[in-house]
């Protein structure tokens, strides 16, 4: 018996319940959009790729099997789409994201965490450090970047990360270890030795 609520929704959608797909979309649109945004750091690209993920889910409904958690299956699709788009060179990714002016008429507010905006309790040094961390992560090789993003923002186990990016638990552990060393070197000026 399937206990994953989202897997059950996908099975309902598979049986013709379009409302189930809408529920899946509502549950995952912002977490998925934020994940893709953290990967590519471009709002327009993240929105297009997120839409592509949901189109792929919609089209793949008939072949879906509830063997693993629905989120694993969904993020595996998202990972593959992100990697394929990066390989194709269709989009040019920016290291520092650009934002719409929130006060501009007709523009929707950001759904992403806006880490470039100064916070009341934040000093300039903390803001610079956040930007430097994000830029260091953006410089990681594609699969390492995905592993780090899944680890930091979704706090997944190495096993779950491996399932989502298509490699072993040991490989994920190694990628994250190498990433930490790389990021630490990039942040040396901010945090010292």
Question: Domain 116-193 maps to which CATH number in 3.40.50.920, 1.10.3720.10, 1.10.10.10, 3.40.50.460?
Answer: 1.10.10.10
pTM over 0.85: no
- Which CATH code for domain 1-95? 1.10.1740.10
Give the domain ranges of the chain: 1-95, 116-193
Cα–Cα distance measured from residue 163 to residue 73, given in angstroms and rounded to the nearest whole number = 9
Is 61:2 a contact under the CB 8 Å cutoff?
no
Model pLDDT for residues 45-103, shown as the tens digit of each residue: 899 999 999 999 999 998 898 888 899 899 999 988 988 877 765 554 443 333 333 33
Residue 125 confidence class, pLDDT cut points 50, 70, 90: confident
Q: Of all residues in the chain, what percent carry a pLDDT higher than 70?
A: 78
């Amino acid at each position: 018996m399937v206990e994953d609520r989202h897997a059950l929704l996908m099975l309902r959608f598979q049986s013709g319940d379009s409302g189930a797909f809408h529920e899946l979309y509502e549950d995952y649109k912002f977490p998925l959009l934020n994940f893709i945004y953290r990967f590519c750091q471009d709002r327009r690209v993240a929105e297009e790729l997120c839409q592509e993920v949901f189109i792929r889910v919609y089209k793949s409904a008939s072949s879906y099997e509830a063997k693993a958690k629905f989120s694993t299956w969904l993020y595996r699709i998202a990972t593959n789409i992100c990697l394929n788009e990066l390989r194709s060179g269709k989009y040019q990714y920016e290291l520092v994201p650009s934002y719409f002016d929130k006060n501009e008429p007709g523009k929707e507010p950001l759904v992403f965490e806006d880490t470039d905006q100064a916070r009341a309790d934040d000093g300039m040094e903390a803001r610079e450090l956040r930007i430097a961390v994000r830029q260091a992560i953006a410089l990681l090789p594609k699969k390492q970047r995905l592993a780090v993003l899944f680890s930091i923002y979704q706090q997944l186990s190495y096993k779950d990360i491996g399932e989502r990016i298509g490699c072993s638990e040991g490989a994920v552990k190694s990628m994250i270890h190498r990433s930490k060393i790389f990021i630490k070197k990039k942040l040396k000026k901010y945090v010292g030795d």
